[in-house]
Chain A
Amino acid sequence: MGLNIQYLSKSFGETKAVQNLSITLEKGQVLGLLGRNGAGKTTTIKMILGLQTPNQGEITWDGSSLDRSKVSIGYLPEERGLYLKSKINEQLRYFGELEGMSRKQADDAIDYWLEKLEISNYKMKKANELSKGNQQKIQLIATLMHNPELIILDEPFSGLDPVNANLLTTIIEEQITAGKTVILSSHRMEQIENFCEQICLMKEGKAIVQGRLNEIKQNYGYRNLSLSSNKTIETALSEWNIPFETKHADVVIRVRNDKEAIQLLNRFEAHSIPIRNFKMLEPTLNEIFIERVG
């Protein structure tokens, strides 16, 4: 049991933002909600948060209709800000109290998270005195300080420098280890790929690729046969009209399955073309993304 979205649809006038979307996410799992701008990711998130009413379909949590007052959600929006003229501890306490925390619980959580993110010295400062990176840390605290069951992070890595991106990665991993259910929405496939067991790739409001990431990759329809590059291999492939790419010191050939790869390796052997090493690689999430929605 966890989050269950069934046949969700939402239109704005003539525009169909989300069409017949169904997602099942068990508790403790991580979902990557992917897609280009305008694919319907943020509308889906807003419907989960109860900010927009679906035209059709339902969203349940543990079998009951998702009620924002009963399920603790931590949401980091794509467009995020702070009360610039307010002190950090005052606004974090305010955010905590709005999530049902007592003043003491909020204060304890503020101290814990400020120390964890190494910004305790900014506790009494106003938000406009902080750098953009530190403001983003405060926004992350506002998302996680009330220990939510369901965490929704919309483009969490946007605008972060490598150090802060690394810090955020560590924190997301900790939350996953702690058994939190997480939805990550992003364009940055390489960062999503590390966390997500499940993905939902959206295009024009529809889920076009959906399911467990490793199964999607295995059954995607091709694999990449990677060989250490040399002139003879490249010449032979050109003569046989087999398309290939050179990546760094490797030649990458797209094959439909293992059998096709072995046949190609046998052909190299039959022509006495030496092979120093080879690898069979699944397609990357980035490749799938570009091919399906690009």
Chain B
Amino acid sequence: MGKFWTVFKFHLREAVTSKSFIIGNLITLIIIIGIFGFSHFSSKESKDKVAFINSTSYQTNIEQLNKGLDSIKLVSEEQRNLGKLKQQVKDGELDGIVEVKDNNGSPSLSYTYKSFADQELVAILTQKIQQIGINKTIAESRVDPNVAAKLLAPISVKNIALKDTTGTVGIVYVFVFLMYLLILGRGQMIANTITAEKASRVMEIMIPKVKPIFMMYGKILVQLVIGLADIVVMILGFLVSYALGWFNGNQFSLFGFQIDLSNLTPFIIACFIIYFVLGFLLYAIGYAAVGAVVSRTEDLGSVSFPIILCIMAAFFVGMTSIFSPASTLVTICSYIPVTSPIVTFSRILSGEAGYIEMGITIVILLASIAILNHLANRIYLNGVMNYSGKVKFKDVVQMAQKH
């Protein structure tokens, strides 16, 4: 084991002192803090400005209307300025114009915008102006307000969810994406470092000194540590944003997904680590074998394509599982080794997979890793000593067989 740690320490030092690691993590930190900062400041100060013109007899209160709008600020304007306002919309100085009109005794809205309509504005204003119109009609028709209220009262709907998983959607999204990103990125790095060792022929000096399996797992473990360090950096960015007060409490929104941190229990974190490590090992061993069979880094893309396809499939099924965690596809995929880590984790968060499913999938993953490890060892040993130009699938099968 002494040689294994020597390999591990050397490659770890190489990795953490590399410019790509330092600059990459610095950029990640800046992006995370930047997203939260942008979200914080843009929500406070930069609401879209829309001119509101009402030259009808319908009584509207612009302050009341603004209360219902999160991202838009209505500004009262006169009808005579319409031409000038339209020019302002064209020039981008104004985000739109909403004009209330009378359409044969009923209110109607005219919405002018440059190229994209704000659906939130349309939906809220339609509802509010319609209510004003109804109120006016009721008043003019002398209908008893109590009768009118009863007639217009919406049917109440009481939602009773036996298993409410809506709170976990955001968390699943973030973690599925994180797992996909780290496995893909770090796996590619493993293949790159191995192929680079072959391409520079330093592999020839190394293989008599240390068992190839130590070299392979040394690099895999280094990339696993680097992957976990990437997560720590992301958490750091999150904590800095929190310390700066750029989001409050346990809930915040990221790319439209509501994230409720109260769902992030130690059990969920433990599950993430277990499935991340197992998924990482499964793919990392595959990437190591792929890196060993080619002799030039430019050949790596075509050989690693099947692995990329597998992980992309796992990602898309993982995304599907956010909204339909009990579907047949998702259930089956949670037992297929290449899709299992992401999909099962997603199902656990959604409450669809219990301890039995966890146990079964962990056993399947461990068995798959053991089988893959056996094959990859042979491919690695034979692959690193093979410098022939183009590698065919038949060659890889032969490498896995011969000793």
Determine if B210 is an interface residue (Cβ-Cβ < 8 Å).
yes
Cross-interface CB contact of A68 among B13, B200, B203, B208, cutoff 8 Å: B208
Residues of B within 8 A of A94 (CB): 6, 10
Cβ contact within 8 Å between A95 and B204? no
Q: How far is the CB of A218 from chain B (nearest CB, A)?
A: 36
Determine if B14 is an interface residue (Cβ-Cβ < 8 Å).
yes
Residues of A within 8 A of B207 (CB): 49, 51
Residues of A within 8 A of B201 (CB): 77, 79-81
Q: A51-B207, A51-B385, A98-B210 are in contact. Are A83 and B6 (CB under 8 A)?
A: no
Residue of A nearest to B6 (CB): A97
Cβ contact within 8 Å between A98 and B209? yes
Cβ contact within 8 Å between B202 and A99? no
Cα–Cα distance between A80 and B205 once the two chains are bound (Å): 6
Cross-interface CB contact of B204 among A68, A81, A85, A90, cutoff 8 Å: A81
Cα–Cα distance between A46 and B208 once the two chains are bound (Å): 8
Residues 81-98 of A, flagged 1 when their CB comes within 8 A of B and 0 if not, give 111111000110011011
Q: How many residues of B contact A (CB 8 A)?
A: 23
Cβ contact within 8 Å between B202 and A83? yes
Determine if A139 is an interface residue (Cβ-Cβ < 8 Å).
yes
Cβ contact within 8 Å between A77 and B6? no
Cα–Cα distance between A84 and B205 once the two chains are bound (Å): 13
Cβ contact within 8 Å between B403 and A98? no
Cβ contact within 8 Å between B205 and A81? yes
Determine if B387 is an interface residue (Cβ-Cβ < 8 Å).
yes
Determine if B374 is an interface residue (Cβ-Cβ < 8 Å).
no
Determine if A142 is an interface residue (Cβ-Cβ < 8 Å).
yes
Cross-interface CB contact of A73 among B205, B208, B402, cutoff 8 Å: B208
Determine if B3 is an interface residue (Cβ-Cβ < 8 Å).
yes
Q: How far is the CB of A98 from chain B (nearest CB, A)?
A: 4
Cβ contact within 8 Å between B205 and A95? yes
Q: A81-B200, A83-B200 are in contact. Are A139 and B208 (CB under 8 A)?
A: no
Main secondary structure on A side of the interface with B: loop
Cβ contact within 8 Å between B6 and A98? yes
Residues of A within 8 A of B10 (CB): 90-91, 94
Per the 8 Å Cβ criterion, residues 59-87 of A in contact with B are: 68, 73, 75, 77-86
Cα–Cα distance between A91 and B13 once the two chains are bound (Å): 11
Cα–Cα distance between A94 and B14 once the two chains are bound (Å): 12
Q: How far is the CB of A72 from chain B (nearest CB, A)?
A: 11
Determine if A56 is an interface residue (Cβ-Cβ < 8 Å).
no
Residues of B within 8 A of A80 (CB): 201-202, 204-205
Cβ contact within 8 Å between B208 and A81? no
Residue of B nearest to A142 (CB): B205
Cα–Cα distance between A180 and B197 once the two chains are bound (Å): 30
Residues of A within 8 A of B202 (CB): 80-83
Q: How far is the CB of B209 from chain A (nearest CB, A)?
A: 4
Q: How far is the CB of A127 from chain B (nearest CB, A)?
A: 9
Residue of A nearest to B204 (CB): A77
Most buried by B among A52, A77, A84: A77
Most buried by B among A81, A91, A95, A99: A81
Determine if A53 is an interface residue (Cβ-Cβ < 8 Å).
yes
Cα–Cα distance between A16 and B296 once the two chains are bound (Å): 28
Cα–Cα distance between A99 and B6 once the two chains are bound (Å): 10
Most buried by A among B13, B14, B208: B208
Cβ contact within 8 Å between B14 and A86? yes
Per the 8 Å Cβ criterion, residues 211-242 of A in contact with B are: none
Q: How far is the CB of B378 from chain A (nearest CB, A)?
A: 12
Per the 8 Å Cβ criterion, residues 231-281 of A in contact with B are: none
Per the 8 Å Cβ criterion, residues 52-77 of B in contact with A are: none
Per the 8 Å Cβ criterion, residues 28-59 of B in contact with A are: none
Cβ contact within 8 Å between B205 and A51? no
Cα–Cα distance between A50 and B212 once the two chains are bound (Å): 12
Residues 1-30 of B, flagged 1 when their CB comes within 8 A of A and 0 if not, give 001001100100110001000000000000
Residues of B within 8 A of A142 (CB): 205
Residue of A nearest to B214 (CB): A98
Residues of B within 8 A of A50 (CB): 208
Most buried by A among B201, B204, B210: B204
Residue of B nearest to A93 (CB): B10
Cα–Cα distance between A77 and B202 once the two chains are bound (Å): 10
Cβ contact within 8 Å between B385 and A77? no
Residues of A within 8 A of B205 (CB): 75, 77, 80-82, 95, 139, 142
Cβ contact within 8 Å between B385 and A46? yes
Residues of B within 8 A of A91 (CB): 10
Q: A75-B208, A97-B6 are in contact. Are A84 and B200 (CB under 8 A)?
A: yes
Residues of B within 8 A of A85 (CB): 14, 18
Cβ contact within 8 Å between B208 and A51? yes
Cα–Cα distance between A73 and B209 once the two chains are bound (Å): 9
Residues of B within 8 A of A81 (CB): 200-205
Residues of B within 8 A of A79 (CB): 201, 204, 387
Residues of A within 8 A of B7 (CB): 98
Cα–Cα distance between A91 and B9 once the two chains are bound (Å): 12
Most buried by A among B14, B200, B209, B402: B209
Q: A97-B6, A98-B6 are in contact. Are A82 and B200 (CB under 8 A)?
A: yes
Q: List 18 A-B contacts (CB under 8 A).
A: A50-B208, A51-B385, A52-B385, A53-B403, A68-B208, A77-B201, A77-B204, A79-B201, A81-B201, A82-B205, A83-B14, A84-B200, A86-B14, A91-B10, A94-B6, A98-B6, A98-B206, A139-B205
Known: A75-B205, A80-B205. 20 other contacts (CB 8 A): A12-B402, A77-B204, A77-B208, A79-B201, A79-B204, A81-B200, A81-B201, A81-B202, A81-B203, A83-B14, A84-B200, A85-B14, A85-B18, A90-B10, A95-B205, A98-B3, A98-B6, A98-B7, A98-B206, A139-B205
